[in-house]
Structure 1
C-alpha cells in the first residue's frame, strides 16, 4: 500500500481536569466554504493514538474535501497526559465534551474507529446540545459484543491482573515488532501486505512511553463492555455504519457473525442510520483509506 504524504500539523494543547491534552486541527482553507468539521476518535491499543488518522486526513484533502478535521489524543494516549488510572468510556467522553465546548465550539460529525464506539455513545448522551450533527462508525464491534455487559467484578479483576509487574512485562513484550505484526495480521487487516513499516513504526513509537499501558489495560479489562442497545436506539443524529467486507471479531461472542449481519443489526436499531460495506477488515480508515473517504463523502455532504 502506498503511503499518503501529509504536511504535519502542529500539536496544540488544552487543559481538562488539570490534565494536559493534545490535539491537532487541519483546516486547509479559510477562503471558501469549509463544510462541517469532523471530530475523530482514535482506537485504543498498543501504540495507538491520533496518529492512526493521518492517512485518512491526507486522503480526505487529496480527494478535494475541505472540512476542518479535529484530531485529539485521548487521555492516556499519544501526547496527552497519561495518569495511572482505569479509564472508562465515560471519562473519555467527558474529555471530548470539554474539547467540543471549549476548543471546537461548533457542530461536528463524530468519526469513531472500532470499539471506541461506546465513547461516542456516552458523548452523545452527555452532549444534548446541537454540537453533534452526525456520527460515522468505522468498523464498529459485533452486535453481540456491543449489547453484552460483562460483570463489574470481572473487569476489575482483569484490570488488577494487568496493573501489575506481570502486566508491565506483557506490555514490553506486546510492543515488539513481531507481536505487533502478528496481531495486526491475525486480527486487524485483510491483507498481510497492508501491515507495512509505517503501521509498525507508528505503533512502536506510540508504545515507547510505558505509561501508555494504562489506557490499553483499561480497554483490555473491558470497562467499555455494556449493553448499549437502548443507548444506540436513542441516537437521533444521522449515523453512517461502515463495515469491512471481511470484518471479524476478536471476542468469542461475535465469532460467527457475518459482516452483512452486523450491518443489518445496527441499522435495525439506529433510528436514523444508513450503512455501507467496503473492502477491508477492521481498520478501514487505514487499510482502505480511499474507499473509506469515498463512502463518507456523500453522507458528510448531506449533513453539511
Structure 2
C-alpha cells in the first residue's frame, strides 16, 4: 500500500470466521462504456450485506501458521509462503494463483479469500521480504524492483507454472512490475486491487496534493533517518489503539476492523528488523510508475477498485488512469466497488469474489 505514515498500510484480515448473514444482493451499474469493455460499479443492496454474506469460510490463522513453508531467496533471505488447493476440484483447466499483500500486511490478509479461490484453483500466498514471517534483514534497501524480482524468482523456483498474480496496493504494483519484466511465460494474468502509485507518497505524478506536501515529505524522510525519532514514531504508530483508528479510516466496512485484525498488524511490527523495514520503505525511492508500465502488459488484467479509498482515490492520477482503460486496452476489465476502502479483498470479499471468480472461470475456458 502507499505509505507516508502507517496509515498507508494494507491491513490483514479479522481472525474470526466469516459471519453468516443475509446473502449479498449485488447490483451492477454501468458508469462508463468504451467498446465492449465495461467499467461498472458493484454495490450491495442493503447494509446487512456488509457483514460478509456470500463469503466462503475464512482460513483459520492456525492453519496458515502450521502449513506455511520457507524458501530461501537468493540462497540468503528466508521467505514465508502458504499453499492451498482442493485436489478433488482442481482440473487441468484450473489456474495457479499467487496472492501478494500490501504495505504492513502479510498472508493472513487473504484469509477470507483463500478458501473461495482454492476450491477450484491452486493458491499460493507470500509474505514479501520485510513483512509478516519473512525475514527483515538489517540494512536492506527495500525497493519496488526488489519485490518484483522476488515474485519472479518465486514463480521460477517454487511455483514453476504460469501464474495469475493477484495483488493489493503496493503488492499490485509489485505484480505490475513483475509482469512487465517477465521474459518467460511465468505470468499468465493480473488482478489488481486498488493498485498503488508507488512504494511511498513520493510517487508524485501530476497529483497537486502530493506536490503541495513534497516539502513536508522530504522533512519526514530526514526525521525518519534519525534513529531515535524513527523509533519513537514507530512505537506510537504500532500502538494498538492508534492502529485501530488507522484501520477504521482505511476500511469502508468498519465491522471487519476488530482487535484481532489489529493484532495481526501489530505482531509482525514488533519483530526484529521491522523498524528498519518501516524506515527504508517510507524513505526509499517510490519505484516505477504503473501508468508507464501498464501499456507494456498484454496478458489479461482485472482491476477492482474500492471507491472509498483515500490512499489511492478514484479521482487521483492513478485512479483516473485505471478507470480510463476499459475500451482503450482490450485485455482490461475494471469494476468499481461501492462503499469499499483500500483493501477490497478483506473489506468486502463478497464483492471481490463476485467479479474475480467468473473472470478466472472465463480465463480457464479460453
- TM-score, L = length of structure 1: 0.85
Equivalent pair of 1:146/1:229 in contact (CA under 8 Å) = no
Q: Secondary structure at the match of 1:286?
A: helix
5, 16, 20: which one pairs with 2:78?
A: 20
Aligned: 1:230 with 2:292: yes
- By how many angstroms is 1:38 displaced? 0.8
Task: Give CA-to-partner distance per residue, 1:117-147, whole Å, 9 cap, x none.
Answer: 3211221133121111100001123699977
Equivalent pair of 1:244/1:259 in contact (CA under 8 Å) = no
- By how many angstroms is 1:28 displaced? 1.9
Q: CA 1:145–1:138 in structure 2 vs 1: closer, same or farther (change >3 Å)?
A: farther
Task: Give CA-to-partner distance per residue, 1:56-93, whole Å, 9 cap, x none.
Answer: 113435xxx32111111111111111112220011111
What is aligned with 1:215? 277
What is aligned with 1:183? 246
What is aligned with 1:121? 176
Larger fraction in helix: 1
Equivalent pair of 2:98/2:125 in contact (CA under 8 Å) = yes
Q: Secondary structure at the match of 1:109?
A: strand
Equivalent pair of 2:95/2:164 in contact (CA under 8 Å) = yes
What is aligned with 2:309? 247
Q: CA 1:269–1:158 in structure 2 vs 1: closer, same or farther (change >3 Å)?
A: farther
- TM-score, L = length of structure 2: 0.71
What is aligned with 2:343? 283
Q: CA 1:160–1:269 in structure 2 vs 1: closer, same or farther (change >3 Å)?
A: farther
CA distance in structure 1 between the aligned counterparts of 2:101 and 2:228, rounded to whole angstroms: 27
Aligned: 1:134 with 2:189: yes
- By how many angstroms is 1:248 displaced? 2.5
**What pairs up with 1:23-38 in 2 under 5 angstroms?**
23-29=81-87, 32-33=90-91, 35-38=94-97
Consecutive unaligned residues in structure 1, runs of 5 or more: none
Q: RMSD value over aligned CA atoms?
A: 3.2
Task: Give CA-to-partner distance per residue, 1:10-56, whole Å, 9 cap, x none.
Answer: 111111121111111112215641611110111112xx212211121
259, 273, 287: which one pairs with 2:332?
A: 273
Q: CA 1:6–1:234 in structure 2 vs 1: closer, same or farther (change >3 Å)?
A: same
Aligned: 1:41 with 2:87: no
- By how many angstroms is 1:263 displaced? 4.3
What is aligned with 2:135? 81
37, 51, 59: which one pairs with 1:6?
A: 59
- By how many angstroms is 1:285 displaced? 0.5
**Greater shift in the superposed pair: 106-115 or 262-271:** 262-271
Equivalent pair of 2:141/2:284 in contact (CA under 8 Å) = no
CA distance in structure 1 between the aligned counterparts of 2:314 and 2:191, rounded to whole angstroms: 23
Q: Secondary structure at the match of 1:97?
A: helix
- By how many angstroms is 1:162 displaced? 2.0
What is aligned with 1:93? 148
Q: CA 1:199–1:268 in structure 2 vs 1: closer, same or farther (change >3 Å)?
A: farther
Q: CA 1:169–1:146 in structure 2 vs 1: closer, same or farther (change >3 Å)?
A: closer
CA distance in structure 1 between the aligned counterparts of 2:317 and 2:253, rounded to whole angstroms: 18
What is aligned with 2:235? 172
What is aligned with 1:148? 205
What is aligned with 2:30? none
